[in-house]
Structure 1
Amino acid sequence: MSKILVTGGTGYIGSHTVVELHNAGYEVIIVDDLSNSKIEILDQLEKITGKRFDFEKIDLQDATAVENFAKANKDISGIIHFAAFKAVGESVEQPLKYYKNNFFSLINLLTSFNKKINFVFSSSCTVYGQPDTLPVTESAPVKPAESPYGNTKQVAEEILLETASTTDGLKVIALRYFNPVGAHETALIGELPIGVPANLVPFITQSAIGKRGPITVYGNDYPTPDGSAIRDYIHVVDLAKAHVAAIKRLDTNTDTDSYEVFNIGTGKGSSVLEIIAAFENSTGVKLNYTVGKRRGGDIVEIYGDVSKSKEELNWKTELDLNEMLRSAWAWEEYIGKNPF
């Protein structure tokens, strides 16, 4: 089958997508600069799949390196682009770091692979801000970004739309996904944040295992059933399979638009307090948490309408919230005993 380049393929979502591409019969090559991931993930992928994946350490900001890589790999037919900086708080503190990396990486890929190519872009529900109506659909307006990180996703989508409309043979799918959590069923790969986790679930698991102190619930006075903020959480394996579905659509459908957007989520929102309760129920581990003030920049509630993805990508989620949290805990226990 087709040869697929996965940028950021040793990262959290990238590594799970590599596994699902392999399971679907694709040949995979990984590029990563290892700035936010570990080379040992290649060993973990080999344990899961029995395959040692081709890997090159490249900083995609380096235009010459990307061009040389493209010339040496002319048989690549598809790119799944995860490689980007992604911490919202850091992007506020260091906006130029985010604009330079996230834009130059994308532009260098599009410039170097200037032939017929299928391109799947890792976008985000952050482009919607606080939606006017829920569940949010792909036709909802893109709101002004709350952070430089969010802005890079919005502008990257614009770059891809405009490039695809003027480049013969370039076909793009942007996947706007919600909150990925969980880990592979083997517990051999999972989310491995460097430093203090910015996301809820890895902070929960690190708190539960003793790496962190009590969990802070940022606000219990939102206009939601239990007062805490609501998000759409999706199992990372379901998310990885959505990328495979997108590549298959680009491979097989010749009459689709050159640029398409899909929501990738469960279509259901869960509150912070519901996540805490589900973790305790699915693992038997009690959590220590306190309630603090609302955090600046946080929206009240978001979850997606995923009917378009079900109908046109022939994709839907299979793993529930309990499995998300059980697998996240299994990964935390594994990495605690087998640190990289």
Structure 2
Amino acid sequence: MNNILVTGGLGFIGSHTVVELHNVGFNVIIVDDLSNSRIEVLDNITQITGKKPDFHQLDLKNKSDVKKLFETTKIDGIIHFAAFKAVGESVEKPLDYYENNISSLVYILQEIRDRNIDNFIFSSSCTVYGQADELPITEKAPIKVAESPYGNTKQIGEEIIRESCAAYNFNAIALRYFNPIGAHESIKIGELPLGVPQNLIPFVTQTAVGIRKELSIFGDDYPTEDGTAIRDYIHVVDLAKAHIAALKRLLNKKNKTNFEFFNVGTGKGSSVLDVVKSFEKVSSKKLNYKIVGRRNGDITAAYADTTLAKKELNWQSEKTLDDALESAWKWQQNQS
């Protein structure tokens, strides 16, 4: 049984991926500093899977603690989620984002180098493309100057990994996510940000349930059909399964180069108002929203061409926008 280290494993995407790893028989070690997650998630993962993962509360910015973890734990592969992830916040706090997202990655890669560990999966983002010239976005799209410090940490992260793979001869895959939403069908894990949500869907569900007074839609003057920004919203369980496919590719030595990258999305763009309409349909709730000014760092439109992931990883998304929003609404109601 392979031991897989999952950093940020109590977060939104991390927790769903831990469940899927357990479902296919991997042994999971979770590292999380609980800066944007809750320890209760560990019990909820255990309830879903019937197996409690090994858990370490650890700040990956602490190099000596990272070293100690690797000295005392047998690790066969790593899925690295741990990072700050809010575009708007990164514009306000760039140094916090660079310190957290880059130093933690470097310290992990140094341990991989020193211990000859293989099989590293990086949680990347479609933000590496910036505002792409052509839609849908393929992996051949040029990497533009980042629109935000968050996006830049993902670009820099990929560069660090690529150069490390070349120098130290280990294998890695970067998964460039589009917009993960939704919750596990058990409604035991989902997206539960601490404080005011930075992402659209928790703000939608919290507005619908009465926690937030109204939903702010950032801009209705984009050059899109309804004036609102377009994104590719993927169900988090579909995204979690993409990590399983990528991990198996590395473990089975099916990768074609020692650093690969794949888009992970649905291939369909939905505007913010499309999301509002879909949510109102599945929840039978009318959303209170207002149009406000654009947000720094936001782009007009981004949705994926997922042809490469389908061909090489034998993976594609299965759940719809309605499916994802219905699960997110059930999850929100279960928190009330």
Interval of TM-score (by shorter of Structure 1 and Structure 2)? over 0.9
What letter matches 2:16 in structure 1? H
**8 Å CA contact 2:249, 2:255 repeated in 1:** no
Corresponding position of 1:280? 280
Distance, in Å, in 2 between the alignment partners of 1:54 and 1:331 is 25
Matched, 1:98 2:97: yes
Distance, in Å, in 1 between the alignment partners of 2:230 and 2:248 is 32
Distance, in Å, in 2 between the alignment partners of 1:190 and 1:255 is 31
Provide the aligned length of Structure 1 versus Structure 2: 334
What letter matches 2:91 in structure 1? V
CA shift, 1:254, in A, is 4.8
More displaced 10-residue stretch of structure 1: 291-300 or 126-135: 291-300
Corresponding position of 2:221? 221
CA shift, 1:214, in A, is 1.3
Q: CA RMSD in A?
A: 1.1
Secondary structure of the corresponding residue to residue 291 of structure 1: strand
What letter matches 2:306 in structure 1? V
Distance, in Å, in 1 between the alignment partners of 2:202 and 2:254 is 40
Corresponding position of 2:110? 111
Corresponding position of 2:139? 138
1:281-316 Cα offsets, whole Å, 9 max, x none, are 111111111222333332111101000000000101
What are the equivalent positions in structure 2 for 1:107-186 lying under 5 Å apart?
A: 107-114=106-113, 115-168=116-169, 170-186=170-186
* Greater than 3 Å deviation, 4+ residue runs: none
What letter matches 1:81 in structure 2? H
What letter matches 1:126 in structure 2? T
What are the equivalent positions in structure 2 for 1:28-47 lying under 5 Å apart?
A: 28-47=28-47
Secondary structure of the corresponding residue to residue 28 of structure 2: strand
1:236-292 Cα offsets, whole Å, 9 max, x none, are 000000011100000112552000010000001001111000001111111111222
Corresponding position of 1:79? 78
CA shift, 1:97, in A, is 1.3
1:94-123 Cα offsets, whole Å, 9 max, x none, are 222111111110111111232131000000
What letter matches 1:142 in structure 2? I
CA shift, 1:174, in A, is 0.2
Secondary structure of the corresponding residue to residue 56 of structure 1: strand
Distance, in Å, in 2 between the alignment partners of 1:255 and 1:233 is 27
**8 Å CA contact 2:3, 2:77 repeated in 1:** yes
**8 Å CA contact 2:219, 2:293 repeated in 1:** yes
Corresponding position of 2:253? 253
Secondary structure of the corresponding residue to residue 119 of structure 2: strand
TM-score for the superposition, normalised by structure 1: 0.96
Corresponding position of 2:325? 325
Corresponding position of 1:300? 300
Distance, in Å, in 2 between the alignment partners of 1:255 and 1:265 is 20
Distance, in Å, in 2 between the alignment partners of 1:88 and 1:304 is 19
What letter matches 1:96 in structure 2? L
Distance, in Å, in 1 between the alignment partners of 2:59 and 2:241 is 26
Q: Gaps (5+ residues) in structure 2?
A: none
Distance, in Å, in 2 between the alignment partners of 1:255 and 1:275 is 36
Corresponding position of 1:88? 87
Distance, in Å, in 2 between the alignment partners of 1:196 and 1:110 is 33
Distance, in Å, in 1 between the alignment partners of 2:104 and 2:117 is 19
More displaced 10-residue stretch of structure 1: 254-263 or 34-43: 254-263
Distance, in Å, in 2 between the alignment partners of 1:322 and 1:90 is 28
More displaced 10-residue stretch of structure 1: 284-293 or 197-206: 284-293
What letter matches 2:150 in structure 1? Y
Distance, in Å, in 2 between the alignment partners of 1:137 and 1:14 is 25
Distance, in Å, in 1 between the alignment partners of 2:159 and 2:264 is 19
What are the equivalent positions in structure 2 for 1:14-29 lying under 5 Å apart?
A: 14-29=14-29
Corresponding position of 1:239? 239
What letter matches 1:289 in structure 2? Y
Matched, 1:12 2:12: yes
* Distance change in 2, residues 1:287/1:246 (3 Å): same
Distance, in Å, in 2 between the alignment partners of 1:147 and 1:226 is 25
Distance, in Å, in 2 between the alignment partners of 1:154 and 1:124 is 9
What letter matches 1:281 in structure 2? K
Q: Gaps (5+ residues) in structure 1?
A: none
Secondary structure of the corresponding residue to residue 147 of structure 2: coil
Secondary structure of the corresponding residue to residue 322 of structure 2: helix
Distance, in Å, in 2 between the alignment partners of 1:52 and 1:89 is 35
1:1-50 Cα offsets, whole Å, 9 max, x none, are 31100000000000000000011111111011111111110110011111
* Distance change in 2, residues 1:39/1:103 (3 Å): same
